[in-house]
Structure 1
Amino acid sequence: MNSPTAKGLKTRKQIVKNWLPRYTGVPLEEFGDHILLTNFHRYVKLFARWHRVPIRGKDKAMTSATAGRITIINFGMGSATAATVMDLLTAISPKAVLFLGKCGGLKHRAEIGDLILPIAAIRGEGTSDDYFPPEVPALPSFALQKAISTTIRDFARDYWTGTVYTMNRRVWEHDAKFKSYLKKIRAIAIDMETATIFMTGFFNEITTGVLLLVSDQPMIPEGVKTAESDAEVDDAYVTDHLKIGIASLNQLINQGLTLKHLKF
């Protein structure tokens, strides 16, 4: 037998080309070359409904849907899975990857339902240390963030910008010492994926951007996310979040913009 499996997967390229279909149930040639990433199946369902395409990989680790040149993937939650999907996407060398995530607002001005377009992320998650030394900053592709910014304004929306703190511990809202630390570093928001996606995008030479939706205000007890409050956020704000993400990628596709702002 001459299959890669029979010979063994010896190189990184062989591994990711085998594993991306294994995780998603989608052959490599059927992915779009512009990728939306999300943590939530609702985004995939809406995308599939709007474009009248099937959801694929319902029995796999990562569900997805593809319409034209855009594929949306729900990779799960946390920095480890964010790094995994970014590594696997090297199998198809996408032209752009945009993460649509939710975050906790750390400053009172970032209200629930607001959009945050981060200019950088603080690497508190640990996962990115496997890719670069800690002094390397976690930054998005400027050109992609600029395209997202233009699209947000086309939707007559405003957004906040600033630094996002990314961590790998989900339950922390009770920790007064950690909250004091968050105030000192003056981050505008907190999540579990942004820094990892920026760093793995840089490592894998993938143009990467992030647009976050403020879903809770975890610095105050009444702002901690609940099942009820999360459902209200979904009903009120997820549709616009996803539409802006799709429109941002379509802007790149239709205008044929070159996104790499540096040579890898």
Structure 2
Amino acid sequence: MDYTQGSNKQYHTQLSESDVGEYVILTGDPGRVKDIASYLDNAELVANNREYVTYTGYLNGVLCSVISTGIGGPSTAIAIEELVQLGCHTFLRVGTCGGMHLEVQGGDIVIASGAIRQDGTTREYAPLEFPAVPHYDVLSAQVHSAKTLHLSYHVGVVQSKDSFFGQHAPESMPVCSELENKWDAYCKLDCLASEMESSTVFIVSQTRHVRSGAMFLCLANQEREKTGLTNVQNHDLHPLMQCAVSTIKELITNDKAENH
């Protein structure tokens, strides 16, 4: 059934094939899209519908896009599904997280090498035994970009959950013991940070046979607070944005080299 009534645009994002590039930076907050797009050449707003704001411009002469997905798995999955329909093949999730490992501090960059699937969306894509992991090409480019920019970064597993307040106020939930026990287990397993989208990004991308990665700015770390360690807050996303753009540029360069 064609809900677009013949518009030739994707229903939720209101995008057509000519609106987007094959490389896409995903971010949750619509308010961040313009800032990230400022790192692109000749970036222009191409669509604004629901939580999906999209800018498209150029990196290394190649058309690339930045789109907001809203918070959480369902809206993120919709964005990737519709973008894949338009020919996009590489996705980089850029957002924020809360630290869990004591070495992760506010202002650090967290690069996800895998995600705990404590979400609902991916259960409708793949069995729970199937891991949520990034594509190696994207992961490698992220690490190289972070090193080149001399950023403080960490690479490892993150938790993807559906309930923000399940993390920050578990005692208020009827299932508080389950939430607290799992959180404690994840910390003992050296989980780096908690966020809400990367498991969906990874599993949907794997399902649709496209590449993806995810990286985050750590805003603060509640586990450091609990243990009496310093717990600075940092909300400056620009180093993360620079690293994301550098990652896409490296992927473009690498892809061009492989195709020649």
Q: TM-score, normalised by structure 1?
A: 0.81
Residue 49 of structure 1, CA deviation = 3.6
2:76 is equivalent to residue 82 of structure 1: yes
Q: Which residue in the other structure is 2:197 paired with?
A: 193
Counterpart residue type for residue 160 of structure 1:
H
Counterpart residue type for residue 131 of structure 1:
Y
**Unaligned regions of 5+ residues in structure 1, if any?**
1-7, 224-228, 260-264
Q: Which residue in the other structure is 2:244 paired with?
A: 245
SS in structure 1 at match of 2:245: helix
Q: TM-score, normalised by structure 2?
A: 0.82
Q: 1:19 to 1:241 in 2, by over 3 A?
A: same
Give the counterpart of 2:210 among 206, 209, 213: 206
Q: Which has the higher strand share?
A: 2
2:15 is equivalent to residue 29 of structure 1: no
Q: 1:36 to 1:214 in 2, by over 3 A?
A: same
- Structure 1 CA distance for aligned equivalents of residues 211 and 257 of structure 2: 10
Q: How many residues are aligned here?
A: 238
Q: Which residue in the other structure is 1:217 paired with?
A: 221
Q: Which residue in the other structure is 2:48 paired with?
A: 58
- Structure 1 CA distance for aligned equivalents of residues 224 and 180 of structure 2: 10
The worse-fitting range, judged by mean Cα deviation, of 22-31 and 133-142 is: 22-31
Q: Which residue in the other structure is 1:166 paired with?
A: 160
Instruction: Output the aligned Cα RMSD.
Output: 2.7
* Cα deviation digits, residues 23-68 of structure 1 (max 9, x gap): 3333222201100000123431213444453333335430011112
Q: 1:219 to 1:129 in 2, by over 3 A?
A: same
- Structure 2 CA distance for aligned equivalents of residues 159 and 220 of structure 1: 17
Q: Which residue in the other structure is 1:9 paired with?
A: 2
Give the counterpart of 1:41 among 4, 17, 30: 30
Q: Which residue in the other structure is 1:96 paired with?
A: 90
* Cα deviation digits, residues 106-134 of structure 1 (max 9, x gap): 12211011111111111110210100111
2:185 is equivalent to residue 184 of structure 1: yes
Residues 137 and 251, structure 2, Cα contact 8 Å, conserved in 1: no
Q: Which has the higher helix share?
A: 1
Q: Which residue in the other structure is 1:233 paired with?
A: 234
- Structure 2 CA distance for aligned equivalents of residues 156 and 120 of structure 1: 23
- Structure 1 CA distance for aligned equivalents of residues 43 and 137 of structure 2: 29
2:119 is equivalent to residue 129 of structure 1: no
2:255 is equivalent to residue 256 of structure 1: yes
Residues 98 and 208, structure 1, Cα contact 8 Å, conserved in 2: yes
- Structure 1 CA distance for aligned equivalents of residues 88 and 181 of structure 2: 40
Residues 8 and 16, structure 2, Cα contact 8 Å, conserved in 1: no
Correspondences of 1:123-162 after superposition (within 5 Å)? 123-162=117-156
- Identity between Structure 1 and Structure 2 (%): 19
Residues 17 and 87, structure 2, Cα contact 8 Å, conserved in 1: no
Residues 30 and 69, structure 2, Cα contact 8 Å, conserved in 1: no
2:116 is equivalent to residue 117 of structure 1: no
The worse-fitting range, judged by mean Cα deviation, of 213-222 and 27-36 is: 213-222
SS in structure 2 at match of 1:26: coil
Q: Which residue in the other structure is 1:3 paired with?
A: none
* Cα deviation digits, residues 81-116 of structure 1 (max 9, x gap): 111112112212323110002111112211011111
